[in-house]
Amino acid sequence: MLAIPAVVLMMTAQVAREAHAQAPGPSLVDVQAVYLFDFAKFVRWPEADHGALTICVAGPKVYTDTLTRLVKGEQINSRPLAVRAVQTPEDEADCAIVFIENAAKDHTDGLLAATAGKPVLTVSDIPGFLDHGGMIQFLVIDKRVRFSVDLRPAVHSGIGLSSELLKVAVNVSGKDASGGGR
């Protein structure tokens, strides 16, 4: 059986190098940061926006720092990546992904309400996030970071999630809304 660090290690050579540098191993933050980065690769935004793909973080600074380090110099579909911290829903104007950490739990509804109907992928590790209208929620199962997906808000906001992504999701709800599924 593979441990979480192994998952992180296989991501990219760069990530692997960083992971090795951090003893004793990548933390939950690291794994979640990598997942956030990788989600971007399996998401299709409706507008052909050639500007920067911005990942907004509502949470501790360590997430922002980790992500910033991770996406440095990276591109997805020829779009450069950017990381920014958000505090209020008003900050979310140009976000492609919004990550709401447990620490920003209280702002969840506000943040979600601000992005509702807009092409913004919402991710969080707050339990019950999907019930509040979130799209992806991190889970920890058998000490491994996994995630569940609710397609309804994604379909509503015009975001396409790759079947490859759904394939590895622990649970996918609202398949009827997407018109697809297994």
Partner 1 sequence: MNLRQNESLAARLTRMNLLVSGAVLLIAALAFFSYDLLSFQQILIRNIEAEAQIVGANSISAVMFNDQESATTTLRSLEQSPDVQGAVLTSSDGTVFARLGTLDQGDISAHVLGAHENDRAWPSGTQVVVAHRVMFQGKTVGIVTISARLREIGHRARQYLLIAFLILLFCMAAALAISSTSRRLIAEPIIGLADTALTVSREKDYSVRAEIPADGSEIGVLVDAFNTMLTQIQERDAALGEARAELEARVEERTAELRTANRELEAFSYTVAHDLRGPLDAITGIAFLLAQSWDSTDELKAHVMLNQLTTSTGNMSSLIDNLLNFARASTTPLKLAPVNLSSIARQIAAELAASDPTRKVEFMIKDTPETPADEGLMRIVLDNLLRNSWKYSSHHEHACIEFSAKRDANKLVYFVRDDGAGFDPGRMGQLFEPFHRLHGKSDFPGTGIGLATVQRIIARQGGAIWAEGAVEKGATFYFTLG
Q: Which residues bind partner 1 (CB under 8 A)?
A: 1-2, 4, 6-7, 9-13, 16, 35, 38, 41-42, 76, 144-147, 162, 164-165, 167-168
Nearer to partner 1, 104 or 161 (CB): 161
**Residue-by-residue DSSP string for 38-104:** HHHHHEE-SS---S-EEEEEES-HHHHHHHHHHHTT-EETTEEEEEEE--SGGGGTT-SEEEE-GGG
Question: Minimum distance from CB of 109 to partner 1 (Å)?
Answer: 27
Question: How is the beta sheet containing 97-100 ordered, strand by strand?
Answer: 75-76, 79-85, 53-58, 97-100, 121-124, 136-141, 144-150, 171-173
Question: Minimum distance from CB of 12 to partner 1 (Å)?
Answer: 5
Q: End-to-end CA distance of the chain, in Å?
A: 27
Nearer to partner 1, 56 or 136 (CB): 136
Question: Minimum distance from CB of 156 to partner 1 (Å)?
Answer: 23
Q: Cβ–Cβ contacts within 10 Å for residue 86, how many?
A: 23
Token pair for residue 182?
């297994």
Token pair for residue 123?
């991710």
Nearer to partner 1, 41 or 50 (CB): 41
Nearer to partner 1, 44 or 167 (CB): 167
Contact 55, 121 (CB under 8 A): no
Question: Minimum distance from CB of 157 to partner 1 (Å)?
Answer: 21
Nearer to partner 1, 36 or 83 (CB): 36
Question: Minimum distance from CB of 6 to partner 1 (Å)?
Answer: 6
